[in-house]
């Protein structure tokens, strides 16, 4: 990616958007090397969209239920994101799987953050599943999105200890603190250094 201009990020969210906020805040420093050009969501009325609006970032919503098929939704999402000419697409708490057309258009440019240490505990209840299993450490994983559920090549991971008195909420909040730092650090490195993917091996630069 060229270093001469900020890396263009499109961020997709479904909820509170604290990971998005961390990226927006980091982008305020020109030395970070990236700018959020749009924020998209699969639902209305979420704090993630409000955060983008407060920051003056264009937003869009594409709800699966408004389309005749999942495939049509995916194609529209692909075109909408593509119109912003992103260098990198960050799924930050986006609670939908993107489809093949999306991944083919943006090959190796889509990254997702998951609140568990992949390959453990994929899916939508990573913190709860880790707690139920009784693991002593868990964390978060940033990966390059592929066709599977939280199966893509790993960019970065961060480790969080599980406390004896943790419940799902307290554990997930501690994971999210570490997750935001990992996301900001990794997206910045991708923006400034680039990223190469060889099979399952991911390297900055
Ligand atoms: C994050 O832990 C993300 O990994 C998970 O949902 C959470 C989203 O948090 N899928 P936020 O919306 O960024 O606050």
In a domain, 99, yes or no: yes
Dihedral (CA of 141, 38, 34, 28) sign: negative
CA distances from 196 to 14, 52, 60, 201 (A): 28, 29, 29, 8
Upstream peptide bond of 166 is cis (omega within 30 degrees of 0): no
Query: Tell me, what CATH number does 168's domain have?
Result: 3.40.50.170
In a domain, 191, yes or no: yes
- Determine if ligand 1 sits within 6 Å of the CB of residue 127: no
Does the pLDDT at position 2 exceed 50? no
Percent of the chain at pLDDT exceeding 90 = 98
In a domain, 20, yes or no: yes
The beta strands (E) that lie in the chain are given as: 7-13, 34-41, 59-61, 88-91, 110-114, 137-144, 154-161, 195-198, 201-204
In a domain, 165, yes or no: yes
List, for residues 61-116, the tens digit of each pLDDT value.
999 999 999 999 999 999 999 999 999 999 999 999 999 999 999 999 999 999 99
Higher pLDDT, 3 or 50: 50
In a domain, 48, yes or no: yes
In a domain, 2, yes or no: no
Does the pLDDT at position 1 exceed 80? no
In a domain, 88, yes or no: yes
Q: Which domain holds residue 162?
A: 7-204
Does the pLDDT at position 19 exceed 80? yes
In a domain, 123, yes or no: yes
Whole-number average pLDDT of the chain: 97
Q: What is the count of structural domains for the chain?
A: 1
- Determine if ligand 1 sits within 6 Å of the CB of residue 141: no
Which tokens belong to 76? 């529209």
Ligand 1 center–CA 14 separation, angstroms: 8
- Determine if ligand 1 sits within 6 Å of the CB of residue 92: yes
10 Å CB burial of residue 51 (0-12, 13-18, 19+) is buried
Active site residues: 114
Dihedral (CA of 118, 123, 128, 132) sign: negative
């Amino acid at each position: 990616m060229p270093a001469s201009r900020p890396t263009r990020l499109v961020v997709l969210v479904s909820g509170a958007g604290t990971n998005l906020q961390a990226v927006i805040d980091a982008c305020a420093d020109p030395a970070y090397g990236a700018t959020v050009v749009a924020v998209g969501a699969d639902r209305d009325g979420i704090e993630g969209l409000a955060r983008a609006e407060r920051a003056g970032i264009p937003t869009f919503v594409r709800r699966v239920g408004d389309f005749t098929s999942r495939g049509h939704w995916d194609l529209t999402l692909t075109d909408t994101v593509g119109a912003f000419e992103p260098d990198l697409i960050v799924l930050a708490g986006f609670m939908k799987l993107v489809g093949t057309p999306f991944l083919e258009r943006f090959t190796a440019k889509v990254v997702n953050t998951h609140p568990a240490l992949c390959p453990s505990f994929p899916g939508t209840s990573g913190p709860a599943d880790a707690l139920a299993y009784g693991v002593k450490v868990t964390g978060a994983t940033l990966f390059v999105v592929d066709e599977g559920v939280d199966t893509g090549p790993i960019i970065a991971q961060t480790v969080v200890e599980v406390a004896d008195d943790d419940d799902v909420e307290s554990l997930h909040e501690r994971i999210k603190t570490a997750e935001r730092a990992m996301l900001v650090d990794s997206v910045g490195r991708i923006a400034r250094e680039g990223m190469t993917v060889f099979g399952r091996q991911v390297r900055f630069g």
